Structure 1
């Protein structure tokens, strides 16, 4: 069911980018009765990639929007999460029980889902007339009365506020913050979806499993109601040219990176279709992501390595907090944006930092440091240790 048009008041808000973060922001702002338009460069709304994890801190914003049932219709509730295994023989280094425990600790379950299903659910909360497709923004120009956006087709629009939700290579970010190139991580990512009827039985378990090995790691979990298994793997690379999610490799290239791993891993890789492959980039945390009547959200503000599974969750949190701040101060949007930034930057900066650090920890060569890491994984309860992530409620005003 498509969202109804609500009475619109306050500032005219333009969102650049119609991915998960941009559409979530539009949904929250529309729900608050604010005038918002999403400008998306693609001719149709699609989500690249495949699987994602929806932890409790991602479920809360979806529930607040009233789209949680739609978003989870084909999601998979996890019984086990952060199940770490040794690359060579599958020895379990650590595993957290989620079923029942996650709800008791944080009030919500943890799920895995297809990115496209989440985007569809968010889109259903935004009226058709609030989404402009085929609108590639080419210039962002602040002026005395607001911000002017120029598009590739020569059209222009003026807004009182602009939200940059246009990803890692954000045009709005280049206007808000000092220009800088993303940093190549020295890693590449492979991604594929294995149909359930072709996947090894082991991979169909309702678990998020991470295999750790020298210089590499691989993650798999079921998605789409169990119809497929999402596989994402990370390996060293010197190739900085392939950063598009539409770039591909071959199954043979993917397998070659993990050829001497446990047979369960190699069997899973061989069962997949043509994998995507792209170079992994990141950016250092920003000390500020707001300038005048412009601000950033999601990957445009705080791109992070996917090693904590928090990219989509942080975009959802951003959207909820931004809408809360603007609703509380619609007549003073500059103050609202400052409050949004002040509330969000400490948390997203910390997540950027721990996600970056995990790349090194996951890829330790076999030896003393690796054994110490494995022992630490076994001694700690990751579900309790991550309470600062999962217990966060974006709808609650800080005390």
Structure 2
């Protein structure tokens, strides 16, 4: 019996995770990426136990420890007066409760760990500088054409090619995205610039009227990552690499309580990036025949639960499990989709709701802040369902 062969379009975090999980399940992989030099733009990621358990199962624990930061807690604060609204322990309590750590990682560091692991496996072939222009399939094979004229064929194709997925467009046509009315700023600052700010090694979420601000450490505490989200009309560029005007960022957040104001002051004006946030509804279908989708290609998620990368990593583990259980590829892909759609849709919908809750104004904000301590128990139960999920056993 020949070794099954999968094509994976997209060598981001989701595509690499899928390549590794499938290769360790006996598949031969051709990973197709349109960029000439594989890299991952962006800044920080929060990798919660539901995803970190998958990365550890791939033998990546030592490599991740070399570049991760273990946050002590998640703190929620009022941007109006700096008051602590709630505090949830992370750190060792996460590992004890869920059997896996909560990690803060620079996106480029995680991508580098995954890419190095893929390059070390003989079953994985990486094809870079390869822009896919056509996807086709029949009852027994799937093929794709690359802009340079090369054609690749395999038993299975997974589109892990992000929010503007060509594979998704091929299967289901044009998407319908809606501008949320929010833009997000991001930046990374050397922690040495903030020594006098006394910022604890915790994730912090500051809630303000019509805006919120998140910060946490990366790379074993050497860097501090921030994401600042504000409501704004008339700017709808959906790009992680678009630079923004520092003065806009300063005008919006420069008078917030310390340490937010100190972070804004310490930010490099030439390295502040701004992107528009678009919302896409959950898809009713991900698969057709021998082709399916993974990660942002099928469930792009607003960044209000820190679960975008985690969901892609979960997808990879569940996909591999389904393909191990069934030799019939179309049936295995339908099972994968059925196992994943409800969970990822809930994450998408809750992330959308969080945007509204985080940005309350006036009496609604006052009521939210007042009720937050009493809601700790309910939040813990929700996190049990989120972080306690084990994609390796689905």
1:97 aligns with 2:89: yes
Secondary structure of residue in 2 paired with 1:238: coil
Distance across 1 between alignment mates of 2:235 and 2:366: 32
Name the structure 1 match of 2:392. 395
Which deviates more from structure 2 when the two are superposed, residues 333-342 or residues 92-101?
92-101
Name the structure 1 match of 2:382. 385
Q: CA RMSD in A?
A: 1.6
Distance across 2 between alignment mates of 1:139 and 1:177: 14
Distance across 1 between alignment mates of 2:19 and 2:145: 20
Q: Deviations over 1:193-227 (max 9, x none)?
A: 11111125446421000111011000000001111
Secondary structure of residue in 2 paired with 1:326: helix
Distance across 2 between alignment mates of 1:54 and 1:72: 13
Name the structure 1 match of 2:145. 150
Name the structure 1 match of 2:276. 279
Q: How much has 1:373 moved relative to structure 2?
A: 1.2
Distance across 2 between alignment mates of 1:315 and 1:201: 37
Unaligned runs of 5+ in 1: 1-7
1:116 aligns with 2:115: no
Q: How much has 1:259 moved relative to structure 2?
A: 3.4
Q: How much has 1:155 moved relative to structure 2?
A: 1.8
Matches within 5 A, 1:288-307: 288-307=285-304
Q: How much has 1:110 moved relative to structure 2?
A: 1.2
Q: Is the 8 A contact 2:76 2:207 kept in 1?
A: yes
Query: Aligned pairs, how many?
Result: 387
Distance across 2 between alignment mates of 1:204 and 1:112: 15
Q: How much has 1:321 moved relative to structure 2?
A: 0.6
TM-score w.r.t. length of structure 2: 0.94
Q: Is the 8 A contact 1:222 1:230 kept in 2?
A: yes
Change (3 A) 1:72 1:383: farther
Q: How much has 1:91 moved relative to structure 2?
A: 0.5
1:364 aligns with 2:357: no
Distance across 2 between alignment mates of 1:374 and 1:176: 45
> Which residue of 125, 128, 131 corresponds with 2:117?
125
Q: Deviations over 1:158-183 (max 9, x none)?
A: 22211000000101111222422322
Distance across 2 between alignment mates of 1:380 and 1:202: 30
Q: How much has 1:375 moved relative to structure 2?
A: 2.2
Q: Is the 8 A contact 1:149 1:156 kept in 2?
A: yes
Which deviates more from structure 2 when the two are superposed, residues 265-274 or residues 303-312?
265-274
Name the structure 2 match of 1:228. 223
Q: Is the 8 A contact 2:19 2:31 kept in 1?
A: yes
Name the structure 2 match of 1:43. 36
Change (3 A) 1:303 1:251: same
1:308 aligns with 2:300: no
1:193 aligns with 2:188: yes
1:76 aligns with 2:76: no
Q: How much has 1:10 moved relative to structure 2?
A: 4.1
Distance across 2 between alignment mates of 1:170 and 1:73: 32
1:183 aligns with 2:178: yes
Q: How much has 1:300 moved relative to structure 2?
A: 0.4
